[in-house]
Structure formats: structure tokens, C-alpha cells
Amino acid sequence: MIGRLNHVAIVVPDIAAAANLYRTALGANVSDPVDMPEHGVTTVFVTLPNTKIELLQPLGEKSPVQAFLDRNPSGGMHHVCYEVEDILAARDHLKAEGARVLGDGEPKIGAHGKPVLFLHPKDFCGTLVEIEQA
């Protein structure tokens, strides 16, 4: 069921500084920032040969990543995203295996314009997992 690693997401306090660090220090290909008000974040994608890094900065007072940043003021790894062929079939399989799907259990459109769901970190070794339809 699980496909390739799509990205690793890192919450940062200053997305411009983080993007510049990846661009200059690591020589990475870094996208322009995109505000995603429906998710409460600003995103930047760092493209690597085999996957991506998603930099996330809170957008607005109700950002779901603000509490994470409050606990980790320097930022840190927030979640991993795996691709799945059929997000509804994956959701149903995961729920049957006892995994908890966050939110209302219905996919939302993510940063890549594809359906995504998040899985409770307590069900995946302490790691927040995002699944994205490939």
C-alpha cells in the first residue's frame, strides 16, 4: 500500500531564512513561498533528487503548526508524507488496522493539489504521517 516518500516537513520560525539556508548553504533548488490559508501555513518546497523537503511556517493565529513552533521555537521535523495509489482505500485499510485518521476523516487538497490525510502520531511510532494520493 505505501508508496514512495513524497516529502519530510519541517516547521520553521522564518521561512525566508530557512529557504535561503537551503539555497545558499546546501545549493538546493528552492521554490517560492506559497500561502495556504486553508491549511494555515506558508510552504516552500526544497527539491532533492529522490524526494522533497517541505518548509512550513505558521500563517495566521489559528495555524495548526503554531503550537508545534511554540514547543520548538527553533523549529523541527513535523511530519513525513508517503504516497498511496488510492487514498480512500488506504484510509479504510488503515482504519481497519486501528490507525486514527485526524480531522473528519475526509481527504483535503494538499500543497501539491492532491488529496491528503493525516494519521495520528501515537499510531506511528510518535511520527505524524501524511498520506497523499499519487
User: Each residue of 89-101: pLDDT tens digit?
Assistant: 999 999 999 999 9
Strands 115-119 and 108-109: antiparallel
User: Each residue of 106-125: pLDDT tens digit?
Assistant: 999 999 999 999 999 999 99
Is residue 106 flagged as an active site residue? Answer: no
pLDDT over 90 (residue 54): yes
Range of the domain at 81: 2-133
| The pLDDT of residue 61 | 82
d(CA 15, CA 44): 7
| The pLDDT of residue 39 | 93
Percent of the chain with pLDDT over 90: 96
CATH number at residue 106: 3.10.180.10
| The pLDDT of residue 108 | 95
State the DSSP code for 26: S
| The pLDDT of residue 41 | 97
Q: Looking at 54, 83, 130, 132, which residue is catalytic?
A: 130
Number of domains in the chain: 1
